[in-house]
Amino acid sequence: MAISILRTRQQLAGGLLRLLYRQRLSTLSHACNAVNDDGRNRSFIDPTSVVHPNAVLGQGVSIGPFCTVGSSVVLGNYCKLHPGSHVFGNTKLGDKCILMSGAVVGENIPGKTIIGCNNVIGHHAVVGIKCQDMKYKAGNECFLQVGDNNEIREHVSIHRSSKPCDKTVIGDNNLIMGSCHIAHDCKVGSNNIFANSTLLAGHVSVEDHAHTAGAIVVHQFCNIGSYCFIGGGSVVSQDVPKYTMVAGDRAELRGLNLEGLRRGGFSVTEIRSLRTAYRKIFMPTDANVGGIEDRLADVECHEHMSHVPAVLSWVQSIRESLKEDRRGICKFRSWSFS
């Protein structure tokens, strides 16, 4: 008899818990999707979350269960924090940002993290925390600035700068896939695609429309040019000139990123001129053409190529990488047609 009563109580308790759980999900879903008479989404804060009273929340903010929002945080309109995501420190999120479960943005250290609008920060990504540079001194201000429309996938780490006079910068419309790392003081442009496990050391500069394959490593202070492609598993220890393709350990030039140029809207004339210029600089048929400086000058003075802006921009990219304060360009092989 006692066992039967106990089972009945357990069944009732289980049924009650399931009912409460369904009601909870229904309330959360309804609150997140409910619309006021003026057409704006209502804000929703789950009672299990910890939101500091000094935090500034925009209209239509949705904060799911077990989240944390710090005292100096500013959340833009219609931001959504999925369960178990956290925002700390002096951090500002623009409108319509989404934090997936486990994401952490900002840290309670001096400095600031600014995230633009329409960014998605993936599951267990860590954005805007202290750098891993031994030169960083506790108490120094450090900064991170992220633009708009970036997709930052799961387990990505992006660190703030290492010193007050610099900052880590991410542009707009970048796709940063799972387990990538962008270290302190990096400068990343816009419309780049970083495949899984792309690792950028400190002070790396990436221009626009670059594309990396998976599992690549970039040495600190390197520059990755626009419209370049880095092959999978590469170790990049020197600059990658714009429009080129590199691969290997250590990465070597493997030609122009022709597919990237076509997708980027470069004309047939521009691509043909770039191919001719590439052959003249990196694949000379004459053994007496001189060093790379002579070959660059020859391209700049060429009757036709000197009038193609893309060629002149590419030559200038190589010249910049050859300056004393830069790391030089990735190695190349001087092929011969003989």
Q: What is the pLDDT of residues 145-195, one digit of tens each?
A: 999 999 999 999 999 999 999 999 999 999 999 999 999 999 999 999 999
The more confidently predicted of residues 288 and 20 is 288
Confidence at residue 42, expressed as pLDDT on a 0 to 100 scale = 82
Name the band, by pLDDT with cuts 50, 70 and 90, for residue 274.
very high
Confidence at residue 290, expressed as pLDDT on a 0 to 100 scale = 80
Minimum mean pLDDT among 12-16, 19-23, 65-69, 138-142: which range? Answer: 19-23
Name the band, by pLDDT with cuts 50, 70 and 90, for residue 14.
low
- Residue position matching structure tokens 């990436």: 206
Mean pLDDT of the chain, nearest integer: 89
User: For residues 188 and 171, what is the distance between their CA atoms, to the nearest angstrom?
Assistant: 6
Confidence at residue 9, expressed as pLDDT on a 0 to 100 scale = 60
For residue 31, give the DSSP letter: H
Question: What value does the mean pLDDT take over residues 29-48?
Answer: 62
CA quadruple 291, 295, 300, 302: dihedral sign: positive
Give me the catalytic one of 133, 185, 208, 239: 185
Give me the catalytic one of 102, 116, 202, 260: 202
Minimum mean pLDDT among 2-11, 43-52, 154-163, 225-234: which range? Answer: 2-11
- If one counts every other C-beta atom within 10 angstroms of the C-beta of residue 114, the result is 18
User: For residues 321 and 284, what is the distance between their CA atoms, to the nearest angstrom?
Assistant: 20
- If one counts every other C-beta atom within 10 angstroms of the C-beta of residue 69, the result is 27
Confidence at residue 199, expressed as pLDDT on a 0 to 100 scale = 98
- Residue position matching structure tokens 């952490």: 104
Confidence at residue 27, expressed as pLDDT on a 0 to 100 scale = 47
Task: Give the strands of the sheet with 223-224, arranged side by side.
Answer: 56-57, 74-75, 91-93, 111-115, 142-146, 168-170, 187-188, 205-206, 223-224
Confidence at residue 286, expressed as pLDDT on a 0 to 100 scale = 73
Give me the catalytic one of 184, 209, 211, 219: 184
- Looking only at the bridges linking them, the beta strands covering 80-81 and 98-99 are parallel
Is the overall model pTM greater than 0.75, yes or no?
A: yes
- Residue position matching structure tokens 């694949």: 283
The answer to whether 253 and 234 are in contact (CB under 8 A) is no
Confidence at residue 284, expressed as pLDDT on a 0 to 100 scale = 83
The upper half-sphere exposure of residue 189, i.e. CA atoms within 13 Å in the direction of its Cβ, equals 15
Confidence at residue 1, expressed as pLDDT on a 0 to 100 scale = 52
Q: Which helix (H) or strand (E) holds 45?
A: strand 44-45
Residue pLDDT, tens place only, 66-124: 999 999 999 999 999 999 999 999 999 999 999 999 999 999 999 999 999 999 999 99
Q: What percent of the chain clears pLDDT 70, i.e. is strictly above it? A: 86
pLDDT at 36 over 80: no
Question: What value does the mean pLDDT take over residues 224-236?
Answer: 97
202 as an active site residue: the answer is yes
Confidence at residue 118, expressed as pLDDT on a 0 to 100 scale = 98
pLDDT at 308 over 60: yes
| Angle of CA points 69, 75, 81, to nearest 5° | 60
pLDDT at 25 over 70: no
Confidence at residue 285, expressed as pLDDT on a 0 to 100 scale = 79
- If one counts every other C-beta atom within 10 angstroms of the C-beta of residue 79, the result is 27
Confidence at residue 88, expressed as pLDDT on a 0 to 100 scale = 98
CA quadruple 240, 244, 245, 246: dihedral sign: negative
Backbone angles phi, psi at 118, to 5 degrees: 60, 35
- If one counts every other C-beta atom within 10 angstroms of the C-beta of residue 289, the result is 14
